[in-house]
Amino acid sequence: MGRLDGKVAIITGGSRGQGEAEVRLFVAEGAKVVISDVLVDAGQALAAELGDAAVFTRHDVSSEEEWANAVALAQDRFGRFDVLVNNAGIAHTASIAAHTVADFERVQAVNQLGVFLGIRSAIEPMSNAGGGSIVNISSGAGLRATKYMIAYAASKYAVTGMTAAAAMELARYRIRVNSVHPGVIATPMLDANSPEMNAAMVAHSPMRRMGEPLEIAQAVLFLASDESSFMTGAHVPVDGGAIL
């Protein structure tokens, strides 16, 4: 028996990296999954590989209309909507002086506004179904800031705060809201950093290594499942001890 049998999930940013690992693990544990991403070719290929358990939708998480479409797809294709993983995220690395307004707004649109719209979009279908689980992917940078990433840090602190606020408000609907805070994870997002910057971040971890996407997916799986039924408003670091 799978740990997510009977559940239907939307996973944003699900075409590659952490999102792909989450999609694969959720399907392996019995869930039906809507793969949401702007990376169309990779998302369609992943959905085709997983068969009837998954469907892909091109989804800009900063768009209200596209959120409505993603939720409707989950309900129309699979009959319900139980789990939301707000995984989609982007980063920008530069000194504060070199951050433009456009850089800052682009990061907030995906990482902050996208999470807000996802939470808001889940309330009605989840409450009508008797409850659900929202897992927001924040970051270690949402608990302790990272130099040269002011826009990213601002967005991830916002996710941490929105998680707590939503957990307090939505508990009466039996909707749980928790956040996961990855450390340095071996995904394509790190490609934009210099090797020196990535090495410096790894050096802050007592475990002295990068995490793997599956290690994040396993934490997300726990929070999505009924095993975490008495958890809401939790901020869960999965960072090799970097926040210590």
Two tokens, residue 144:
């302790």
Question: Nearest CA to 71 among 33, 121, 137, 136?
Answer: 121
Q: Please, are residues 220 and 135 in contact by the beta-carbon 8 Å criterion? A: yes
CA 143, 149, 155 angle in degrees (round to 5)? 55
37-57 b/e (C-beta count within 10 Å ≥ 16 → b): bebeebbbebbeebeeebbbb
Residue 13 CB contacts under 8 Å (≥ 6 apart), including other chains: 19, 36, 37, 61, 87, 88, 89
- Residues annotated as catalytic are 152
d(CA 31, CA 220): 13
